[in-house]
């Protein structure tokens, strides 16, 4: 069995591609982790620069996400690094298009939306190389970000996990770190089902109100390019203050490694549901487990976007997608947390065991795998 925190092993990465196109300020790293189950779907991350090691971890998370959800895909990631000296967004379209062109002959990589990218970005890629999911309606997409596919799945993962925590969603106090596509939709589904979102952080700061925040108002502020701290309601705090807020459920929905051994002891929640990939540093995840805080791993809880994307490109409609996300994520969360209850194992260990089964089997059919499915 692979080391659950080391993504460089016999399962991948299959390829690491560095792309440079100085004429448009393009620097990108594309990592294809494992393609035994099918071509890799990888999020396009347009955020602060991440290392290749970070990318390998994200790509492996996608491999596991796809396998756990029974999708005929492997996993990968594309990291578009900041263009030095260029104003943010100034040549984003050129850089994205140049990246898609560079990968024209890489038929084992399909782009999907991730931090900093969305439907429009996917449309540019589809225009250049034809391999993108999470498309606008006009190009056959089903508006996954507006449906809130990832948020819908996160709501169901939370709901199932609460059975193992001994409290109900109704009136549970939630803090969400990150208020983009995933954070907004997760907040919406949780509030619609009785939770009270008391704290939300984005890169501009943290907004806190012990009686609950107005999600619709905050979504409207974000749509105009503002920050949650532009709201006239609630207490305004620093972005990092989200970790200290008193709550029952903490949902990281921004970047990676936001909870580390340095700040894990500050978390007050009884349940952490990982909306962002690799949001918990490995040592922090172990620490929280030892403290009895249940952490539902990223690739189990946040698979809704990937499930939706994989179904969208096969012609599924919104109803079919939402139903599949609900069924797969509830089933997987239940399986993982049952294992935790029975064996006391780390949730991620149980989740990796679950996801690796089809990958090991698929690799056993490949000529060079050297692995046996038995």
Footprint of ligand NAD (CB under 6 A): 43, 113-116, 150, 177-183, 201-203, 239, 253-255, 275-277, 302, 305
To ligand NAD, the closest distance from the beta carbon of 105 in angstroms equals: 26
Name, in order, each residue with C-beta under 8 angstroms of 68's C-beta and a sequence gap of 6 or more: 299, 300, 303, 328, 332, 351, 354, 355
The minimum distance between CB 38 and ligand NAD, in angstroms, equals 19
- Closer residue to ligand NAD (CB): 302 or 360: 302
Number of residues assigned to the chain: 374
Cα torsion through 128, 134, 135, 137, rounded to 10: 170
CB of 248 to ligand NAD, least distance (A): 20
Contact 337, 324 (CB under 8 A): no
Name the residue nearer to ligand NAD (CB basis): 175 or 360: 175
Which residue in 54, 69, 70, 44 sits closest to 13, CA to CA?
Answer: 54
Cβ–Cβ < 8 Å for 162, 168: yes
Instruction: State the minimum distance, in angstroms, from the CB of residue 349 to ligand NAD.
Output: 21
* Residues contacting residue 275 through CB under 8 Å, at least 6 positions apart: 150, 151, 154, 176, 178, 182, 183, 186, 251, 252, 253, 298, 301, 302
Cβ–Cβ under 8 Å, residues 75 and 356: no
The smaller minimum CB distance to ligand NAD, of residues 11 and 299, is found at 299
Cβ proximity of 67 and 61 under 8 Å: no
We find the least distance from the C-beta atom of residue 23 to ligand NAD, in angstroms, to be 27
In eight-state DSSP terms, residue 173 is E
Tell me the closest approach of the beta carbon of residue 4 to ligand NAD, in angstroms. 19
The smaller minimum CB distance to ligand NAD, of residues 110 and 360, is found at 110
Shortest Å, Cβ 197 to ligand NAD: 14
* Choice between 274 and 360, CB closer to ligand NAD: 274
Neighbours of 50 (CB within 10 A): 19
Nearer to ligand NAD (CB atom), residue 141 or residue 180: 180
Nearest residue (CB) to ligand NAD, 134 versus 347: 134
Give the shortest CB-183-to-ligand NAD separation in angstroms.
6
Identify the residue whose tokens are 């809130």: 148
User: Tokens standing for 274?
Assistant: 């990982």
Considering the complex, state which of residue 254 and residue 322 has its C-beta at the smaller distance from ligand NAD. 254
With left for phi above 0 and alpha for psi between -120 and 50, is residue 140 left, alpha or beta? left
| Smallest separation, CB 369 to ligand NAD (Å) | 28
| Bridge partners for 199 per DSSP | 175, 208
Nearer CB in complex with ligand NAD: 100/307: 307
In angstroms, the Cα distances linking 216 to 188, 220, 278, 295, 331 are 8, 6, 28, 27, 30
Residue nearest to ligand NAD (CB): 180
Q: Is 183 helix (H, G, I), strand (E, B) or coil?
A: helix
Could you tell me which of 224, 227, 230, 196 has the C-alpha nearest to residue 210?
196
């Amino acid at each position: 069995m692979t080391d659950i925190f080391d993504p460089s092993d016999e399962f991948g990465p299959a390829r690491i591609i560095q792309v440079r196109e100085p004429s448009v300020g393009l620097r990108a790293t594309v990592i294809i982790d494992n393609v035994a189950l099918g071509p890799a779907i990888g999020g396009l991350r347009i955020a602060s620069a991440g290392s290749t090691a970070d990318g390998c971890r994200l790509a492996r998370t996608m491999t596991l996400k796809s396998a756990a959800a029974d999708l005929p895909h492997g996993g990968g990631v594309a990291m578009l690094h900041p263009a030095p000296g260029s104003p943010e967004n100034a040549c984003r379209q050129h850089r994205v298009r140049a990246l898609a062109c560079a990968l024209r002959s890489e038929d084992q990589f399909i782009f999907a939306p991730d931090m900093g990218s969305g439907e429009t970005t996917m449309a540019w890629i589809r225009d250049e190389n034809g391999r993108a999911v999470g498309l606008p309606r006009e190009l056959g997409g089903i508006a996954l970000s507006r449906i809130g596919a990832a948020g819908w799945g996160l709501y169901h993962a939370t709901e199932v996990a609460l059975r193992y925590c001994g409290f109900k969603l109704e009136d549970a106090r939630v803090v969400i770190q990150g208020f983009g596509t995933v954070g907004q939709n997760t907040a919406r589904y949780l509030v619609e089902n009785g939770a009270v979102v008391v704290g939300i952080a984005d890169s501009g700061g943290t907004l806190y109100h012990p009686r609950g925040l107005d999600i619709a108002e905050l979504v409207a502020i974000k749509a105009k390019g503002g920050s949650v701290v532009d709201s006239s309601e609630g207490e305004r705090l620093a972005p990092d203050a989200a970790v200290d807020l008193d709550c029952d459920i903490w949902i990281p929905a921004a970047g990676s490694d936001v909870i580390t051994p340095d700040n894990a002891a500050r978390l007050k929640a009884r349940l952490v549901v990982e909306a962002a990939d690799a949001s918990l540093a490995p040592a922090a995840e172990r620490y929280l487990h030892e403290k009895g805080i249940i952490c539902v791993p990223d690739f189990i809880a946040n698979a809704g976007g990937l499930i939706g994307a994989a179904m969208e490109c096969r012609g599924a409609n919104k109803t079919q997608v939402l139903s599949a996300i609900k069924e797969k994520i509830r089933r997987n969360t239940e399986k993982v947390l049952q294992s935790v209850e029975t064996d006391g194992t780390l949730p991620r260990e149980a989740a990796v065991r679950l996801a690796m089964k089809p990958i090991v089997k698929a690799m056993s059919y490949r000529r060079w795998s050297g692995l046996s499915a038995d």
